[in-house]
Amino acid sequence: MMGRMLQMLQDMTQFINRICELVKCIIQQLASLYVQSAGAVLNPTGIHLQTVFEHIGTALGILITLDHIFEQGETFKEHWQQYKRVITSIKGAPAEYGMEESKLKPFEKLLQALEGKLMEGHIFKSCVTQIFDSMEVNVTQNQLLRDEFNINLRNIFVHLESRIGEINEMDQRQKFVGFCGLLVFQYQLYNVVDKKMLRAVWDVQRKLPAVHLLGNLVWFPGAFLMVQYPGLSKHLDKKVLSQSGSLTVEYLQAQDQSLARLSQQYYMDVSSWMIQMESALVSRGKQKDSMKEEVSARASLLINGMLLAHTISNTVRTVLSLHSSLARPMTKAAVLAICRLVELMKAIQVTFHRQSLSVMEYVTLIINQYEATMLTYLDAVSRSVQEVTLQDAKQKYTERSLDVLAALSVMKTALNGPGTADRRLVANLAYHFTLVVKKDKEEDKLPAIMRKLDAICELRLRVQEFCDCSFLYWHKEVLIPLYFKDLFEHPVDAHRLHYMFAAFRDCVPALRWSRHMEDTSPLLHMLESEVDGYLKDHILQPLCLAVEEDLRLSTHLHLKLDDRNPFKVGLRDLKHFMMVKPFRFFDRSVDMKAYVTHYLDMTFYNLTTVALHDWKTYGDMRSLAEHKYGLVMLEPHLPSATVEQGLDVLEIMRNIHVFVSHYCYNLNNQLFVERTSNSKHLNTINIRHIANSIGTHGTGSMNTTVNFTYQFLRKKFFIFSQFMYDEYIKARLLKEIRQFRESKTTWDQKTGELVALKKVPLRRLEDGIPNSALREIKALQESEENHHAQIKSYMLMLLKGVAYLHGNNIMHRDLKPANLLISSTGHLKIADFGLARVFSEDPARLYSHQVATSTVGGDDTIKAQHRLTHFPPTYHAPFTSGLLVVSYWSKITTDLPYHNFFFNMERATLGGLTLGPGFSNGNVHVAWLNWLGTIPPASNLTSNHRSLCLCAFLPSNLSCDSCIRLEAGGIVPNQLSHATCTLPLLNPGPSVNPPNVALSILKKKLWAIGCILGELLNSSPLFPGENDIDQLCCVLRVLGTPDEVTWPKMVELPDYKKISFPVMPPIPLEMVVPDASPEAIELLKRLLVYTDRISASKALLYPYFFTPPLPAHHSELPIPSRDAANPFVGESFDVSDPLEQFLVKPALLAPYVDLFT
């Protein structure tokens, strides 16, 4: 892109250089003119060349605009930097890119020159700060030129300030940009400040806070002066300078509030002007006025049209540019008012275009009349100069008189001919030399007539400029959708579409002038597609549907529908859209009437094809469309259906879901028979009906039938596949598969009930029935009520233990069925405190937020960062001297260093282990175990002893001589604990109860208890994830995707947005745990929530534990089996027994026995 723009950038550089040289040359010529010396060409006293200074301001305004374009072109700057990086990368290997190394350096210098000239914001500054003095001319020290500068700046400012914001404003806003450039130029040239004028210029912002330059560029005079006018803060009050931004906002607010009123006022003014144009130009020569008066009236009419167009254009451009620049939203009323003003602009242009022949004829007459009037004035001035000279006694012409007469002669010659731009410029320059003589009132009218002459001579160009709407390209996303929606709601204004699309056509020339693309057709196509999409979405498609609906309702009036009162229902008269003439849209024409006709033809034909029995209805709708909307529609020429034809196959396929539910197939007769009927007869469908349908619709109808059937089956199979892939359904099905593999059903001959039989294989008959079968028979004999009672008992003990832990500010953080042990007396014990933490009130204390546990076992569950967490001392008193014996549940390899598991509580380390601070209340003992040695290698830890843990003993029983894990179901231990350790405590220290700290935080750690309760009730995990991500998916699938309502402040979590999941609705827990009681479901709902979970102490008071069946006594709970494979199970422990008898290798303990005696 940048490569194609280099030529344009070079041309722009040359253009800027030419303007700078032109300004320098003109200033030097003025300095040569305004001198007082004997050899002066003429006496410059009283000669003020205001036109020259205005043109210098125009040139400076161009430079300011170019500066603003490059300053606001962020995309251009980004591409320029990318282009420079590409050139830099080519320098490494120019041959690979077909470049000569000798040409790269000059090319880089060219790029640097272009960047320094154009892209650093110094285009205007480089012009006004260049050196104007030379050997021949001294500009900066020329006092006459400085005074002339001041005089012309005042005259220009008075003229601009009196016109800006008024009805007779023409092009004063653009000239004000150049005037500000002249003001800065004067300061740079002479370093002189006129504070009074500077303050007056600054106050213009109240009427003109911004000027729209082109496209989406807006220029702020206050910001320009603060940047380009050195020392502005010294000459103006700081309070005045700080009000620049607020003035802009206040101006925009005032414009927004008055837009609706202005649009209505301009609508009346433009309508009146259009009527006058139509009547005045058509009735030429029929009026009684003289020719001169008629031409003057027509001239005033044409100029008023231009002034209206310019005023409306200024309002629209300024409001849109300010909203875009300040990033302030527009109200719907403001948008519609802007669109209305755009329509008025194009209405003025269309009126000029429609009356172009009459306008051009009058333009010639108006120019001749203005020129004749000015020539008359000039003749009078010439005679007065000559009379004054003749009255002199010497009867000689002075040099001043000769200069005036020469200027008058030049002016007459310029005006006596066609009104070209060059002739008018010469006449304006010559006029300034005639001002040295005394003028009468008639001669004072010359400047006004010359301005009117300029306006009439440039009528076509100015109308095109003032009515140009190419700026809509930058605001189309805001204006077009709202405009089309409002237009569809008010069909009376449908004719205004012509004007809006005429405004869109103004964007085409600007896009075709683009130089960053070799072919601009993609830009045009994008604009066309976007506008066409808005037109179809907001007008054409709704119009087609509204017409179709109106035809249907009108056709079925006999059904006695509701009253269609337009004042109640809001009916729209859609006939106005059908009366809109085709309008041009880029390279094609849009005919709304033809579009609706085509839609109705296609819709009626298709619907008649699949429902031939409705052919008469659609025929009536065609006739009504022609009568009501004037739509000439085509006849479909389709065969008419008859009653004897039977049910149509295509109609059946359209409602195949109804057909499948109401019909069944008879294999013997090969026909479909209705299941039930309200009449005495059952409908049937056989091969004859299918043949009739094929004869009616053709063989292509079979493809349609197959397609309908395929779509129906695809939806059904898709739902079925989703059903089968659900984790809960899959788990239930697998469970039933296992059951049906081992069981079969039969009928009980005594009771007639359906019962299940299970085959138990016997390897040897003499061995008897296996123990596993006996245990299963015993479990099946227990009632469902006893099963739920056991679950309640386990949950009661678990909640009591967790409530005690939370009361002592301990977070377990690893609660799961594998860490819940059942003693030989039926008591539940909480084990494995490897991830536990003490919760402190200290706000500066940090906690890990990435601690998680899963029900999935494996050797990789030993993780140092989780198991070996250090717990710093808090307010808990330490234990007294004593010995803790740590033993594994089952097999311990000979390579494992047993001595590492013995330590003294008062010593720092012993064999790599330390015991952190703990506490005791006499019944429950909790201690922290810190690992300071080397972690045993994974090869030394088998799957039967994977983790090291501690037990928190409940008040019901201190012994833990025989423990099993609490698994799913809670009755039969499916699997023993992978790794546990019992810690009998010797010589407990004094009881210390810590204060209740931050229970508002600890009570929220009940998520794991909810998972355990759901697993016990469901006999399977609630969230059976195979990994962390799958685990999250399982949770979200049941509880739904969290949001700000279900989880406030979720977005503030540290790992938020690291992974995203699809939005899923929650599944009712009644479906997830179908066998649970309502009380159990209610408790689950308070536990399995993202936030605001209840505390353990409050959970103990829930109705779940006080409704039948009541929790079972611990003596009624299943007792752990004593398996020979676990030698430590069933062994009792007493503190009075010698320590050596509990060691696997007593020799390892011998060196340490003396330490504890």
Active centre residues (catalytic): 814
Question: Residue 1050 class from Cβ within 10 Å (0-12 exposed, 13-18 middle, 19+ buried)?
Answer: middle
- DSSP letter for 666, please: E
Nearest to 643, CA basis, from 613, 678, 685: 613
Q: Do 902 and 1156 meet the contact criterion of CB atoms below 8 Å apart?
A: no
Residues 426 and 411: their CA atoms lie apart, in Å, by: 7
Residue that is written with structure tokens 């669109």 in the block: 339
Reported residue count of the chain is 1157
**Residue 1130 falls in which region: left (phi positive, over 0), alpha (psi -120 to 50) or beta:** left
Residue 535 tokens, joined: 């037109």
Distances (CA, A) of 507 to 311, 468, 472, 482, 504: 21, 9, 7, 19, 6
Which residues on adjacent β-strands are paired with residue 41? none
Which residues on adjacent β-strands are paired with residue 758? 743
Q: Do 1148 and 885 meet the contact criterion of CB atoms below 8 Å apart?
A: no
- DSSP letter for 539, please: I
Residue 1044 dihedral angles phi and psi, to the nearest 5°: -65, -20
CB atoms within 10 A of CB 224: 19
Q: Do 118 and 70 meet the contact criterion of CB atoms below 8 Å apart?
A: yes
Residue 372 tokens, joined: 């004749």
Q: Do 90 and 99 meet the contact criterion of CB atoms below 8 Å apart?
A: yes
Any residues with CB less than 8 A from the CB of 801 and at least 6 apart, and which? 828, 829, 830, 952, 954
Residue 963 dihedral angles phi and psi, to the nearest 5°: -130, 145
Write a three-state SS string for 9-34: HHHHHHHHHHHHHHHHHHHHHHHHHC
- Using DSSP, state whether 684 is helix, strand or coil: strand
Residues 1040 and 507: their CA atoms lie apart, in Å, by: 50
Quickly list DSSP for 926-961.
E--EEE-SPPPPGGGS-TTS-----EE--TT----S
CB atoms within 10 A of CB 898: 17
User: Is the link from the previous residue into 1109 a cis peptide, with omega within 30 of 0?
Assistant: yes
The dihedral built from the CA positions of residue 389, 391, 394 and 395, taken in this order, carries a sign that is: positive
Nearest to 795, CA basis, from 1129, 1067, 1120, 1109: 1109
Write a three-state SS string for 858-882: CHHHCCHHHHCCCCCCCCCCCCCCC
Residues 415 and 420: their CA atoms lie apart, in Å, by: 9
Q: At what angle do helices 172-190 and 50-72 cross, to 10 degrees?
A: 100
Encoded amino acid at 2, one letter: M
Residue that is written with structure tokens 């505390």 in the block: 1095
Residues 523 and 536: their CA atoms lie apart, in Å, by: 20
Nearest to 832, CA basis, from 794, 860, 799, 869: 869
Q: Do 543 and 567 meet the contact criterion of CB atoms below 8 Å apart?
A: no
Q: At what angle do helices 784-807 and 1007-1018 cross, to 10 degrees?
A: 170
- DSSP letter for 901, please: G
Residues 510 and 524: their CA atoms lie apart, in Å, by: 10
